[in-house]
């Protein structure tokens, strides 16, 4: 019984991290139709930058903001000088951004080395909280769940309730008409892409504090984020949230109940879902 609950908390806290990464990915795909496979590398690099900042300044907040900001700059340069040249060619985008992810990964290896590194967490987030029944659970993971929920709430209000959110939704519907309405679509793309980059970099810092950072982590997290986006439906914020919860929980229970088959527990149900809802749970036609 206790283990069941603990695994649920494990799953939901992992889901909170996946949501940070997948929400940006799904929004930028929905609006710009760009498949950016370097998103995992953005996560890892953001984490490393945050790690260095946390060690230098001792501030976790600086690490989160700095890790996000570093990726905003990198993401802008990548969009402006590389991805823009691919136009609407998804295959070229995938090849370009996969290649880019390898380059980023190697540069990170050269700078930060191949060991598992952990972003230091401030003392008030360390330790464990006691749950009813005398079980202890890491405090950080609880905070992560609240943080994920907070980011979802902020993004949801921004997307559903503000005028700029309406502009983004209109762009998901019909980009050409948005531009013909006088909306500076280039600036809108830069803003949306910047938000996605920031979320990815921030996710790296937050995730690096409990999953640690190491070469190859970018691909592991990318696979999970892609599954979240596909399950939820490309371009759907609500889908990213529900998809993250499904993937997080399946992963946690799979590792616990059937450790030899944990990938099967994750991908089996998702293959079934794809059979009946190829656009994902909240996906619409593009």
Partner 1 sequence: MPETLLSVREIHTYYGDSYVLQGVSLEVAQGCIVAILGRNGMGKTTLIRSVAGLTPPREGDILFRGRSLRGRPSYAIAQEGMAIVPQGRRIFRSLSVRENLVLPTSGLARGPRSMPVDDHSRRWTLELVLQEFPQLAERINHLGGALSGGEQQMLAVGRALMANPELILMDEPSEGLAPRLVQHVEEIMRRLKARGHSVLLVEQNLALAMAVADEIHVLSSGRFVFHGTPAELAGASEILDQHLGVAATRFA
Q: Coil, helix or strand for 82? A: coil
Of the candidates 233, 145, 167, 161, which has an alpha carbon nearest to the alpha carbon of residue 31?
167
Whether 210 contacts 203, CB under 8 Å: no
Q: What is the DSSP letter of 162?
A: S
Residue 50 and residue 67 in contact, taking contact as beta carbons nearer than 8 Å: yes
Q: What minimum distance in Å lies between the beta carbon of 282 and partner 1?
A: 12
Piece of the chain touching partner 1 by CB under 8 A; list 63-71, 77-85, 162-170, 262-270: 162-170
> Which of 166, 257, 271, 272 is the binder for partner 1 (CB under 8 A)?
166
Range list of β-strands (E), 33-190 = 128-131, 135-138
Give the nearest distance from C-beta 90 to partner 1 in angstroms. 20
In whole angstroms, what is the distance from residue 12 CA to residue 246 CA? Answer: 9
3-state SS class at 88: coil
> In whole angstroms, how close is the CB of 83 to partner 1 at the nearest point?
18
**Is 184 a residue that touches partner 1 (CB under 8 A)?**
yes
Q: Is residue 157 close enough to count as binding partner 1 by CB under 8 A?
A: no
Give the residue, chosen from 55, 106, 115, 174, that forms a contact with partner 1 under the rule CB under 8 A.
Answer: 174
Smallest distance from partner 1 to CB 194, Å: 14
Q: Does 178 bind partner 1 (CB under 8 A)?
A: yes
User: From the list 33, 118, 139, 169, which residue makes contact with partner 1 (rule: CB under 8 A)?
Assistant: 169
Q: Are 62 and 54 in contact (CB under 8 A)?
A: yes
241 binds partner 1 (CB under 8 A): no
Contact at 8 Å (CB) between 235 and 171?
no
Q: Indicate whether 185 belongs to the interface with partner 1 (CB under 8 A).
A: yes
**DSSP string covering 182-211, please?**
T--HHHHHHHHHHHHHHHHHHHHHHHHTTT
Residues 17-36: x where in contact with partner 1 by CB under 8 A, - otherwise, as a string: --------------------
Residue of 73, 95, 103, 164 that binds partner 1 (CB under 8 A):
164
The residue ranges that bind partner 1 (CB under 8 A) are 163-164, 166-167, 169-170, 172-174, 176-188, 284
């Amino acid at each position: 019984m206790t283990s069941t609950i603990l695994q649920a908390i494990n799953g939901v806290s992992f889901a909170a991290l996946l949501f940070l990464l997948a929400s940006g990915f799904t929004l930028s795909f929905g609006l710009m139709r760009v498949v950016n496979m370097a998103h995992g590398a953005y996560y890892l690099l953001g984490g490393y930058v945050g790690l260095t900042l946390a060690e230098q300044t001792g501030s976790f907040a600086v690490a989160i903001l700095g890790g996000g900001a570093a990726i905003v700059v990198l993401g802008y340069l990548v969009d402006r000088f590389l991805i823009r040249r691919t136009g609407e060619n998804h295959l070229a985008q995938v090849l370009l951004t996969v290649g880019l992810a390898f380059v980023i990964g190697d540069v990170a290896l050269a700078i930060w080395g191949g060991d598992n590194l952990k972003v230091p967490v401030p003392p008030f987030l360390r330790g464990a909280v006691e749950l009813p029944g005398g079980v202890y659970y890491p405090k950080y993971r609880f905070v992560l769940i609240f943080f994920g929920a907070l980011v979802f709430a902020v993004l949801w209000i921004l997307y559903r309730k503000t005028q700029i959110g309406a502009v983004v939704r209109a762009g998901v519907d019909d980009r050409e008409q948005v531009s013909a309405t006088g909306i500076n679509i280039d600036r809108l793309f830069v803003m949306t892409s910047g938000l996605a980059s920031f979320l990815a970099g921030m996710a790296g810092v937050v995730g690096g504090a409990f999953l640690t950072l190491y070469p190859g982590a970018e691909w592991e997290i990318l696979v999970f984020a892609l599954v979240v986006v596909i399950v939820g439906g490309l371009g759907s914020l609500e889908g990213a949230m529900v998809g993250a919860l499904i993937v997080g929980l399946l992963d946690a229970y799979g590792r616990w109940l059937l450790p030899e088959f944990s990938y099967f527990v994750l991908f089996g149900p998702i293959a079934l879902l794809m059979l009946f809802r190829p656009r994902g749970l909240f996906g619409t036609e593009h």
